[in-house]
Amino acid sequence: MLPDFLERLCEIAGSDNVLSEAGQTWAYGYDNSRRQAQPGAVVHVHNADQVEKIVRLCHETGVAITARGKGTGTTGATVPLAHALVISFERMNRIIEIDTANRLARVEPGVTNGELQAALKPLGFFWPPDPTSAAVCTIGGNLAYNSAGPRAVKYGTPRENSLGLKAVSGSGEVFATGCNTTKGVVGYDLTRLLIGSEGTLAIITEATLKLTPLPEAKCTMQATYRDIESAAQAVAAIMAQPVIPCALEFMDGTAIKMVRKHADLGLDESVGALLMIEVDGTEKSITEAAEAVAAAARSGHCLSVDIAQSDEEVQKLWKTRKALSPALRTIAPKKINEDVVVPVSSIPQLIGGLEKLSADHDIMIVNFGHAGNGNIHVNLLVNPDDKEEMKRAHTCLDAVFDLVLTLGGTLSGEHGVGLEKRDFIDREIDPVALRLMHDIKKQFDPANILNPGKTIPPLESDSG
Amino acid sequence: MLPDFLERLCEIAGSDNVLSEAGQTWAYGYDNSRRQAQPGAVVHVHNADQVEKIVRLCHETGVAITARGKGTGTTGATVPLAHALVISFERMNRIIEIDTANRLARVEPGVTNGELQAALKPLGFFWPPDPTSAAVCTIGGNLAYNSAGPRAVKYGTPRENSLGLKAVSGSGEVFATGCNTTKGVVGYDLTRLLIGSEGTLAIITEATLKLTPLPEAKCTMQATYRDIESAAQAVAAIMAQPVIPCALEFMDGTAIKMVRKHADLGLDESVGALLMIEVDGTEKSITEAAEAVAAAARSGHCLSVDIAQSDEEVQKLWKTRKALSPALRTIAPKKINEDVVVPVSSIPQLIGGLEKLSADHDIMIVNFGHAGNGNIHVNLLVNPDDKEEMKRAHTCLDAVFDLVLTLGGTLSGEHGVGLEKRDFIDREIDPVALRLMHDIKKQFDPANILNPGKTIPPLESDSG
């Protein structure tokens, strides 16, 4: 970074908020993809005015910008390519307004999902998106990736739970999208266009989020099946009746075997697939609602459905699922964790295909995830230090993506694209749509300074 | 239209499907806005291939295109300006696939909302958007306007109920958006960008819609209040508890008075506002769910809450609301019907402000609509033949829009913009966002042939 640029950055944000030494900035150059790059500099912003001025400065000087929350993403989207300036939103983290009468909250992007939920809970509300990293990840990051979690099956993703945004375009122009209400059809939907665009179209400086009343009660159950086909049939049966669960999580046979090796969970040897199901609602209706879901869960070759009757039993039922992550960490601390999606009815073909790919490429694959959306976390258990194995794993991954697309699926349900999947998405998105995305990008960010090189692969004409 | 153009049109679609005589085409030049224009020609399409070829022909020859379903829109969006070619989708109306296991349907744009619901019902599913014109309006039109209806309060609008689209851009290029699943974050969200764009960005040729299981049971209730403040408080209380009703409709004091004049409904003179509420769910849980909503409805100066115990009582409770439209038709057959939205807590200020505007401009205003979303149908009872009154009405309408925006609302909740509101939307959308919308339009439709002059007002630089 040129001294003049840094000086102007300090004028805008205050020198206390600018880091330029490699030792200081290195910690802002990674995310949870295990990729890392050296930022050109880091600036901590405190308000939208600073963001506007910084983007104008970068637009003028051609410096790339990567916006960053807490770096919990898994795709490299916040890894600053091209010696970019990292704009950190950690300190721009106010909850500006919570308006329960109108079921909305206005927040700055740096507030964490957990902080927001904690502020909403005493008021009887929540914001539905619940990525695994909710305790630490920021709302800005959730919006950038359209991150969701188990609750999406009932309550949707950020795209279904956001009303409007304030943002700064790549040329430093401030604009607002959406409205304060759940209905609104004035102009094109720029809100959803920005959500999921991974900081490549504009920098979000404020979000108006749609709130949902907290359910009064929740009921947890575990259902076990002989095989994945039966579990998938049960998922379809559950999703075909009117009580939509607020979690419909799944573990495949390999995941169950793995957990069995590490902990005694009292699961019968015949169990080949498992569903963890949660139903929420009012105190008075929860028992009936849970019974409706349990009845659907009992379809096919169901071995058991256990409904927790106490907090203790809830913990016991979650024990198998919760034992999985530590077991995976023990076996393969640096596993590759994908988040593909297939239509629910294709889950058995996906799992069957994955078993074959696992054997063909000699890579252990464990599958679990959000069955109600068909969003499966495909985990390739690899040791990154074993170069031969990593080569096989990447060939295998390539085939996994092809399998997913053959089954009518999509390459990412909630992790996003970033760098990890950027060069695969042209298998899913047709060339015309991809060119339109590039065209849109050019309008929002004519100098290509916003998170360049992320999300959409370069056009052939660009690289040729 | 030049003979050569018409000849090529006949080659593509067959001469039986091309209308070019003014007498024949006139019937395709109106919508429910009471605007009408003479189409240059009309072509009935049967498949996506024809649409592609026609758009290419129009792009090449510079002929404007207006896509048309059944012409039930209320904003003039399907009125063919500039002697446009009307592409009628009436005959491109197949339900291609209903896949209940994956909760989706693939349809052509010309299928009516009613036909789709009828096909889904025996399978135990429905598609939530339910505009008043559902029996005759097309899915393509619903998507073009993002049209919703009472059920949106619980189930959302087409933007929350569509998975993907196939479309043809203004340069005749075919592309697909979205995916087959409820989660998917690969690339920018072009699906929602097209939904609500009123045929100005691309012509939709196929839609993959997200289905919802039909509720087993429904419970209808009517709540009456002394005044609008009490009713609005009750709406907020209802929306703050976890059982979201599937309809939360409202009538103001003027509407009630008007109905009282035309029918004896047994409503007490003290009733100043009324809510019609419907709750849906499973057979076993419906009574408890309805009671939870009724408890919330009883807040504030509630005069009565009547819960229907039989089909007969359901009809009786709906009688007041259903008597309103005939009463309005009798008094003002050509009323101006707006569909503004304000935050729920601002409904009393909106109604108060409207009462003042009504007095100031000597225009009778009647309000009813979808209170749960704050989406109020503001009806100005005018006689279009009375020019003096119409002049006052338009001045009044101008002030209504300002009032709505002052209250943090939006100018349209479900009718869209078209021509009617086009020249007002720059009061709501900031200049940068509006310019970005123009920029997007140019990428999708470089020759400006797709429904030109609709939805977004010309830029000042264009008109200057």
For residue B433, the chain A residues in CB contact (below 8 A) are 175-177, 187, 190
Report the residue of B165, B169, B185 to disrupt the A interface, i.e. the one with the largest count of A CBs within 10 Å.
B185
d(CA B305, CA B276): 10
**Cα(B146)–Cα(B129) distance, integer angstroms:** 9
> What is the Cβ-side half-sphere exposure of residue B102, based on CA atoms within 13 angstroms?
26
Name the residue in chain A with its Cα closest to that of B431: A175
The answer to whether B202 touches B167, Cβ cutoff 8 Å, is: yes
Task: Express each pLDDT in A391-409 by its tens digit.
Answer: 999 999 999 999 999 999 9
Q: Which residue of B102, B288, B375 is in closest CB contact with A344? A: B102
Q: Above 80 in pLDDT, residue B464?
A: no
Nearest CA-CA partner of B218 in B93, B329, B338, B314:
B314
The stretch A318-331 carries a mean pLDDT of: 86
CATH number of B332-448: 3.30.70.2740
Confidence (pLDDT) at A69:
97
For residue A22, the tally of other CB atoms under 10 A from its CB is 11
Q: Which residue has the tokens 């890579």?
A: A363
Burial code (b: 16+ CB inside 10 Å, e: under 16) for A252-263 equals bbbbbebbbeeb
Q: Yes or no: say if A211 and A104 are a contact pair by the CB < 8 Å rule.
A: yes
Mean pLDDT, all residues of chain B: 94
User: Which sequence spans correspond to the domains of chain A?
Assistant: 1-214, 215-330, 332-416
Closest residue, chain B, to A172 (C-alpha): B432
Amino acid at B393: A
Token digits of residue B25 = 């085409």
B402: helix, strand or coil: helix
CB atoms B289 and A285 under 8 Å: yes
d(CA A318, CA A272): 17
Interface of A with B in 264-303 (CB under 8 A): 280-282, 284-285, 288-289, 291-292
Q: Which residue blocks in B62-138 are alpha helix, DSSP H?
A: 113-120
pLDDT confidence tier of residue B294, bands split at 50, 70 and 90? very high
Which whole number is the average pLDDT over A311-324?
Answer: 90
Token reading at A31: 């995310």
Cβ–Cβ below 8 Å for B103 and A239: yes
Contact present, B284 and B237 (Cβ < 8 Å): no
CA distance B176 to chain A (A): 7
Contacts B125 to A, Cβ<8 Å: 240
**Packing angle, helices A387-406 and A347-361, rounded to 10:** 150
Torsion-angle region of A14 (φ positive above 0: left; ψ -120 to 50: alpha; else: beta): left
User: To probe the interface with A, which of B183, B377, B420 has the most A CB atoms within 10 Å?
Assistant: B183
pLDDT given at position A460: 65
DSSP lists the bridge partners of residue A365 as A380
What's the topology of domain B95-213? 3.30.465
Cβ-based contacts of A154 with chain B (< 8 Å): none
CB contacts of A284 in chain B (<8 Å) are: 288, 291-292
Looking at chain A, the whole-number percentage of residues with pLDDT higher than 70 is 99
- Partner residues linked to A168 by β-bridges: A174, A203
Average pLDDT over residues B150-179: 97
Asked if residue B157 lies in contact with residue A183, where contact means CB atoms within 8 angstroms, the answer is yes
Whether B169 and A432 lie within 8 Å, measured CB to CB = yes
B458 confidence band (pLDDT: 50, 70, 90): confident
Cross-chain residue pair B432–A173, CB shorter than 8 Å: yes
pLDDT number for residue A339:
94
Q: Coil, strand or helix: which one is A73?
A: coil
Give the architecture (CATH level 2) of A332-416: 2-Layer Sandwich (3.30)
Does B443 touch chain A if contact means CB atoms closer than 8 Å? yes
Q: Which chain B residues are closer than 8 Å to A429 by Cβ?
A: 186-187
Q: Is B405 on the interface with A (CB under 8 A)?
A: no
Phi-psi region of A210 (alpha: psi -120 to 50; beta: other; left: phi over 0): beta
Asked if residue B463 has pLDDT above 70, the reply is no
* Residues of chain B contacting residue A280, judged by C-beta atoms under 8 Å apart: 242
Residue from B105, B106, B112, B73 nearest B89 by CA: B112
Interface of A with B in 127-186 (CB under 8 A): 145-146, 148, 152-153, 156-157, 159-160, 169, 173-177, 179-186
Query: What DSSP line would sit under A279-337, residue for residue?
Result: EEE-TTTHHHHHHHHHHHHTSSSEEEEEE--SHHHHHHHHHHHHHHHHHHHHH-TT-EE
Question: How far is the C-alpha of A342 from the C-alpha of A378, rounded, in Å?
Answer: 12
Interface test with B, best of A52, A55, A182 (most B CBs within 10 A): A182
Q: What is the mean pLDDT of chain A?
A: 94
C-alpha pair distances (Å), B263 with each of A215, B59, B257, B322, B326: 41, 55, 10, 11, 10
A240 contacts B101? CB cut-off 8 A: yes
Which residues have CB under 8 Å from A299's CB, separation 6+? A233, A234, A237
Q: What is the DSSP string of B411-458?
A: S-SSS--TTTTGGGGGGTS-HHHHHHHHHHHHHH-TT--BSTTSSSPP
Question: Which residues lie closer than 8 Å to B122 by C-beta, 6 or more apart?
Answer: none
Q: Which residues from chain B sit within 8 angstroms of residue A129, using beta carbons? A: none
Which CATH code for domain B215-328?
3.30.70.2190
Q: In which residue are the tokens 């019902």 written?
A: B121
Cα–Cα distance for residue pair B186/A71, rounded to 1 Å: 20
Instruction: With H, G, I as helix, E, B as strand and everything else as coil, classify residue B104.
Output: strand
- Split at pLDDT 50, 70, 90, the class of A463 is very low
Asked whether residue A100 carries a pLDDT value surpassing 80, the answer given is yes
Gap from B444 CA to chain A (nearest CA, Å): 7
**pLDDT given at position B265:** 74
Q: Mean pLDDT lowest for which of A95-109, A413-427, B152-166, B310-324?
A: B310-324
- Judged by DSSP in three states, B30 sits in strand
Does residue A462 surpass a pLDDT of 60?
no
Choose among B389, B452, B30: nearest CA to B200.
B452
Asked if CATH classification 3.30.465.10 holds for the domain at A1-214, the reply, yes or no, is: yes
Q: What is the pLDDT of residue A237?
A: 92
Are A201 and B184 within 8 A, CB to CB? no
Distance from CA of A16 to the nearest CA of B (A): 32
Any idea which of A211-225, A319-333, B437-451 has the lowest mean pLDDT?
Answer: A319-333
Residues of A in contact with B156 (CB under 8 A): 160, 182
- What distance in Å separates the CA atoms of residue A316 and residue A308, rounded to the nearest whole number? 8
Lowest mean pLDDT across A255-264, A336-345, A454-463, B17-26:
A454-463
- Annotation: CATH topology of A215-330: Alpha-Beta Plaits (3.30.70)
In the stretch 191-210 of chain B, residues with CB closer than 8 A to chain A read 192-193, 195-197, 201
Average pLDDT over residues A47-66: 98
In DSSP terms, which residues pair with B162 in a beta bridge?
B209
Q: pLDDT per residue over B227-259, tens digit each?
A: 998 999 999 899 988 899 999 999 999 999 988
Give the residue on B whose Cα is nearest the Cα of A445. B436
A307 forms beta bridges with A221
Task: pLDDT band for A464, please (50, 70, 90 cuts).
Answer: very low
CB A68, CB A198: distance < 8 Å:
no
A361 phi and psi angles, rounded to 5 deg: -105, 5
Q: Yes or no: say if B312 and B249 are a contact pair by the CB < 8 Å rule.
A: no
B-facing residues of A in 92-131 (CB < 8 A) are 99-104, 124-125
Distance CA(A172)–CA(B410), nearest Å, equals 26
Q: Which residues pair with A145 in a beta bridge?
A: none
Disruptive mutation site among A188, A241, A377, A425 for chain B (greatest number of B CBs within 10 Å): A188
pLDDT in tens, B379-396: 999 998 999 999 999 999
> Which among A216, A343, A415 is the nearest to B180, CB-wise?
A343
Q: Would you state the structure tokens that stand for residue B171, as one six-digit string?
A: 């340069």
A109 vs A202: CA distance, rounded Å: 13
* CATH no., domain B3-88: 3.30.43.10
Taking the C-alpha atoms of residue A282 and residue A404, their distance in angstroms, rounded to an integer, is 38
Amino acid A319: pLDDT: 87
User: What pLDDT is stored for residue B462 in this prediction?
Assistant: 55
B437 touches chain A (CB under 8 A): yes
pLDDT tens sequence across B132-160? 999 999 999 999 999 999 999 999 999 99
Domain B215-328 and domain B332-448, same fold? Reply is: yes
Put the strands of the sheet holding B375-381 in their side by side order. Answer: B302-307, B217-225, B273-281, B247-252, B364-370, B375-381, B336-341
Instruction: Tell me the pLDDT band of A254, cut-offs 50, 70 and 90.
Output: very high
Cβ-contact A33, A419 below 8 angstroms: yes
Contact criterion met (CB below 8 Å) for B237 and A101: no
Residue A212 amino acid letter: T
Q: Is the Cα dihedral B192, B193, B199, B205 positive or negative?
A: negative
Q: Are B347 and B47 in contact (CB under 8 A)?
A: no
CA angle B213, B219, B224 (to 5 degrees): 135
Give the CA angle between residues B341, B346, B348 to the nearest 5°.
Answer: 110
Alpha-carbon torsion (B151, A148, A77, A341), positive or negative: negative
* Partner residue facing B175 (CB), from A185, A214, A436: A436
C-alpha–C-alpha distance, residues A450 and B64, integer Å: 36
Task: Please tell me the distance in Å from A420's CA to the nearest CA on chain B.
Answer: 12
**Per-residue pLDDT for B327 more than 80?**
yes
What is the model's pLDDT at position A130?
A: 95
